[in-house]
A and B are shown apart, each in its own frame.
Chain A
Amino acid sequence: MKRRTILAGAVAALALTTGAFADGHAKTKVGFIFVGPVGDGGWTYEHNQGRLAVEAEFGDKVETIFQESVPEGADAERVITQMALSGADLIFTTSFGYMDPTNAVAAKFPKVKFEHATGYKRADNVSTYSARFYEGRAVQGHIAGKMTKTNKVGYIASFPIPEVIRGINAAYIHAKKVNPDVEFSVVWAYTWFDPAKEADAATALIEQGADVILQHTDSTAPQAAAQKAGNVITFGQASDMSEYAPMPRVSSIIDNWAPYYIERVKAVMDGTWESTDTWDGIGPGMVGIGEISDAVPADVKAEALALKDSLADGSYHPFTGPLKKQDGSDWLAEGETADDGTLAGMNFYVEGITGDIPN
């Protein structure tokens, strides 16, 4: 008991010190927790680009620290605690699986600000932020549906969380719209980053007849596997992955975190930081669509760009009724669009997708 009291005291003292730093007496220290290595060429790479943009923007006034390849779960809590203890004023935890660890650490360090990516649990000192990747998935689905010759689209999914399921649904709806015969095969890799496994998953899908591979994992390995197989198209995930253009990579979803990171660091410096929930899409520029390569026929490219524009100006929502759930029950009526609450907690497939979501 006694030891615990001492520890709590130490933590409180440290929290006070970090609070003092936040008042602007010294450099603002910004920490980042990454799920993969910064050189993954995808998800973590783009978050690190955001970190570098913060450094470029604020120069001497800011100090950034980061820890890469932090496993989701109990280890994450230790790493985040360590970062808070080392005097960080603002900590970005950049993967869904850090949600509970982030909130647990945040409760112990009320003066430190936390920003959790892609989650939904907030507190006074925990904000959440995410991008509407599903808008990009709609564009991918459109191109995939138009381009597939075998009518089989392979999808390498990571974990069965709402963000990933939204992506599968958005891609499927828009592929189905332009190609009623299209089928999706979903492989759950249960990892964000394991190049060998991602390559194997892509190979398995290709061997079973898929000629379009969509991925929701972070490495470029599926791109390499598709290239080896030939005649298979892919899309860059999280980062442009343009080194695989024009074939197999025909387009991409690019995450652009830099403006958000700069804005939030600024808010901490000015003392105006508040717990918020940010969810931006193509319109505000948090989601970018990478250049559609010449491997895509001109008319398909024009349609895809028109779809992108309608998503950007808000005239079209990727989840617009009539839509049914996989079990055939009604979800959205004609013309109705999905609300953010449903999307944030999406745990069902739309009608037409085969297979079950693991739970």
Chain B
Amino acid sequence: MDLSAISPTLLLASLMVAATPILLAALGELVVEKSGVLNLGVEGMMITGAICGFAIAVETGSPVFGFIAAALGGALLSLIFGLLTQYLLSNQVATGLALTLFGLGLSSLLGQGYVGIRPPAVEKLNFGPLADIPFIGRVLFTHDLMVYLTLALCVGTWAVLKFTRAGLILRAVGENHDAAHALGYKVVKVRLLAIMFGGACAGLGGAYLSLIRVPQWTEGMTAGAGWIALAIVVFASWRPLRVLLGAYLFGGVTVLQLNLQAAGLAIPVEYLSMSPYLITIAVLVIMSAPRKGGKARASLAAPACLGRAFHASH
């Protein structure tokens, strides 16, 4: 065993990259759930975003257009979910699961001609002298633009939800849609916008996988990342900054276990492999353990109208 082979600097740097796709998808889903909608189709939207972004980036030669297309693709797919659940009042759980299956199928159809092609490279941002600072420079200032945009989006989501009128309306719709409706807010419209935001974020997360992290297109390449994003939202008890923590924790453990294996750690590999999932489950259990007063912590934090259909009768 040679633990000195693991460089904490490189580890933290790869952690930030590994966490970005799930962070994006989880942030989107957080906003959706804050508006009172449960969309289990994150995996489907991610993979659709992954192929839309990949295809457009390859065709235009520009990763920027690729990411825009990924956001649009994810949002469009989520719009199907939005129309079905908000106007036709279909069951959100079933529709979300169907969306995942549909997204996986659609993406492999769209991706037929893109297997084995290399996408245009995404340049890392050049911070000049900042990147030369020992440790911090390598960890923080050697990434591509999307890593920083994602962090900004995380802080932005937090600020909007906490300090702005728009955030207040979104939360009101999620907590009590009847009251929000009585106050004159357009519940369905707010929810549709939230759903599309969620779809766009999931799409961006998928494109980050296909354009930067992997980078290539293969069918089924998200391999469950969307489900992890869903778990992280609960893990974070619907708070954006905790989503960041959750995503970094999950990304960190994932990268760390591979590094520990490569360094030849004596812990059985099975434990290392399952550790990211075990930790996620453990925290979920702790989060939902009952508190004084009998209510579970997670259910205290969950938007009260989560997963409930709204139909204005007048």
Contact = CB atoms under 8 A, between A and B. Distances in A.
B283 interface: no
B118 interface: yes
Interface string B259-294: 101111010111001000000000000000000000
A224 to B, nearest CB: 5
B276 to A, nearest CB: 10
Contacts of A201: 258, 262
A220 B218 contact: yes
B221 interface: yes
Interface string A117-146: 000000000000000000000000000000
Contact of B254 (A154, A197, A224): A197
A204 B269 contact: no
- Size bin of chain B's contact surface: 35 or more
B223 A37 contact: no
Contacts of B10: 207
Contacts of A41: 115-116, 218
Contacts of B269: 188, 190, 358
A356 to B, nearest CB: 8
Contacts of A209: 5
Interface in B1-31: 5-7, 10-11, 14, 18, 21
Interface in B117-145: 117-118
B167 interface: no
Contacts of A275: none
Nearest to B266: A356
B157 interface: no
Contacts of B214: 195-196, 199, 221, 224-225
A200 B255 contact: yes
B261 A36 contact: no
A256 interface: no
B264 A355 contact: yes
Counting chain B CB atoms within 10 Å of each CB, the highest count among A154, A201, A207 belongs to: A207
A243 interface: yes
A281 to B, nearest CB: 27
B215 interface: yes
B264 A195 contact: no
Contacts of B263: 185, 208
Nearest to A37: B219
Contacts of A39: 108, 111-112, 115, 218-219
B191 to A, nearest CB: 31
Contacts of A154: 262
B100 interface: no
Contacts of A187: 258, 261-262
Which 6 A-B pairs have CB atoms at the shortest separation, nearest pair first?
A37-B219, A204-B258, A358-B269, A194-B223, A39-B219, A243-B116
26 contacts: A39-B218, A40-B218, A69-B219, A154-B262, A185-B264, A188-B261, A189-B258, A189-B273, A190-B269, A193-B220, A195-B216, A195-B223, A196-B221, A196-B223, A196-B225, A200-B18, A205-B262, A207-B14, A208-B5, A208-B259, A220-B216, A220-B218, A221-B214, A221-B218, A224-B215, A243-B117
